[in-house]
């Protein structure tokens, strides 16, 4: 029974969803925990949606804030763990390379000190793709409306599930100038699970759960792989590859080749599609020994620094044109 629980929890890490960070049901750490602890002074603010619902968000600066600062919207991954301890340390590698303000909106129902072990009912009721996209969109619109002038550089950044959300928003919001993705892959979540089922014993025959989800797609009480049927039905067939192919803005994607949550093959396949269409706005950072969080466990080395520095270089190149 204990082994079954461990496997179920491991599956919860699945894909999707600075994240920062935790299980498929949470934000697994994309930065070393030792770095995160140093920045435990970050305090949340509350954002009220038009429907009266609320969610916590975090705001901080990187570098020296000015009128020319970039604006970065970060969309974290799945689950109900707070991202509080992950920021601003996650951006430490580029604090002397880029001046920016970073905004991170959490999902509804996530408390400031939540570890994500048990998600409250209030979280589960609104934890599905369309709602997350709508909430992030409303938050972005509100924040941009508060700017005296629209920043020249607006980066939409997402990790795991948050990457899919970010891609969806970028596909309809022309104000975004750059898109940065971590652990997203290049296909649908359904295809990711099917590919992973060929390698991971505990994911075999996902079609049975697909069928159960399809039979009751709106259920927030029935669950599979740590999430409600409604969560999965809203997300399974969103094709991030097609969303990205529709974009002309610079796209930076980071993947670990040892990612057990999202198959690296889908990212390579997407890269080939960009080549075939003669589109040059897609850059894939593939790290051979890294996992879903760009972390090389054998060498205790995070590749987040390399990815962020590559993103900053891309931003500076665009500004110089």
Model confidence over 116-147: pLDDT tens digits? 999 999 999 999 999 999 999 999 999 999 99
Cα separation, 168 vs 176, in Å, equals 12
Cα separation, 222 vs 227, in Å, equals 8
pLDDT tens track for 104-119? 999 999 999 999 999 9
Length of the chain: 321
With a cut of 60, say whether residue 274 has pLDDT above it.
yes
With a cut of 70, say whether residue 9 has pLDDT above it.
no
With a cut of 50, say whether residue 287 has pLDDT above it.
yes
- The pLDDT value recorded for residue 40 is 54
pLDDT tens track for 41-94? 789 999 999 999 999 999 999 999 887 799 999 999 999 999 998 999 999 999
Query: What is the Cα 289 distance to its own chain's centre?
Result: 20
Percent of the chain with pLDDT over 70: 88
Q: Which residues pair with 287 in a beta bridge?
A: 256
Strands 154-159 and 178-182: parallel
- The pLDDT value recorded for residue 108 is 98
Cα separation, 109 vs 28, in Å, equals 18
With a cut of 60, say whether residue 313 has pLDDT above it.
yes
Comparing C-alpha atoms, which of 284, 282, 318, 285 is closest to residue 304? 285
| Residue that the structure tokens 């461990």 belong to | 6
Q: Is the pTM of this model over 0.85?
A: yes
Report the alpha-carbon angle 302-297-22, nearest 5: 75
Q: Residue 317 has what DSSP assignment?
A: H
Cα separation, 238 vs 231, in Å, equals 12
Tell me whether residue 155 is exposed, middle or buried, using C-beta atoms within 10 angstroms of its C-beta: 0 to 12, 13 to 18, 19 or more.
buried
With a cut of 80, say whether residue 226 has pLDDT above it.
yes
Mean pLDDT estimate for the chain: 88
Strands 178-182 and 223-224: unpaired
End-to-end CA distance of the chain: 59
Q: How far is CA 35 from CA 32, 285, 305, in A?
A: 6, 23, 12
Count other C-beta atoms under 10 Å from residue 64's C-beta. 12
Domains and CATH numbers, the chain: 2-320 (3.40.50.1820)
- The two three-digit tokens of residue 216, written as one number: 């009751």
- The pLDDT value recorded for residue 24 is 35
Comparing C-alpha atoms, which of 318, 295, 321 is closest to residue 307? 295
Q: How far is CA 176 from CA 28, 83, 153, 251, in A?
A: 26, 23, 8, 11
State mean pLDDT over 166-183: 98
- The answer to whether 106 touches 56, Cβ cutoff 8 Å, is yes
State mean pLDDT over 259-267: 94
pLDDT class of 5 with cuts at 50, 70, 90: very low
- The pLDDT value recorded for residue 85 is 86
With a cut of 80, say whether residue 10 has pLDDT above it.
no
């Amino acid at each position: 029974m204990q082994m079954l629980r461990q496997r179920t929890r491991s599956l919860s890490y699945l894909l999707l969803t600075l994240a920062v960070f935790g299980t498929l049901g949470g934000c697994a750490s994309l930065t070393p925990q030792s770095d995160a602890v140093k920045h435990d002074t970050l305090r949340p603010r509350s954002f009220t949606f038009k429907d009266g619902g609320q969610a916590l968000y975090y705001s901080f600066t990187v570098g020296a804030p000015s009128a020319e600062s970039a604006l970065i919207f970060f969309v974290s991954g799945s689950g109900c763990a707070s991202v509080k301890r992950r920021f601003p340390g996650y951006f430490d590698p580029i604090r002397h390379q880029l001046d920016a303000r970073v905004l991170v909106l959490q999902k509804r129902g996530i408390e400031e000190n939540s570890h994500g072990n048990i998600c409250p009912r209030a979280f589960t009721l609104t934890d599905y793709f369309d709602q997350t996209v709508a909430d992030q969109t409303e938050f972005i619109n509100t924040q941009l409306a508060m700017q005296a002038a629209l920043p020249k550089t607006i980066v939409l950044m997402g990790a795991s599930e948050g990457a899919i959300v970010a891609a969806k928003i970028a596909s309809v919001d022309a104000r975004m100038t750059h898109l940065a993705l971590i652990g997203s892959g290049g296909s649908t979540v359904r295809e990711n699970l099917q590919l992973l089922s060929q390698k991971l014993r505990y994911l075999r025959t996902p079609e049975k759960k697909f069928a159960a989800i399809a039979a009751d797609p709106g259920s927030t009480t029935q669950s599979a792989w740590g999430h409600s049927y409604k969560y999965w039905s809203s997300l399974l067939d969103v094709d991030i590859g097609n969303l990205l192919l529709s974009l002309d803005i610079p796209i930076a994607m980071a993947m670990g080749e040892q990612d057990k949550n999202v198959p690296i093959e889908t990212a390579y396949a997407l890269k080939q599609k960009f080549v075939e269409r003669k589109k040059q706005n897609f850059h894939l950072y593939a790290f051979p020994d890294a996992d879903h969080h760009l972390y090389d466990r054998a060498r205790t080395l995070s590749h987040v620094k390399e990815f962020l520095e590559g993103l900053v270089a891309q931003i500076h190149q665009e500004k110089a044109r």
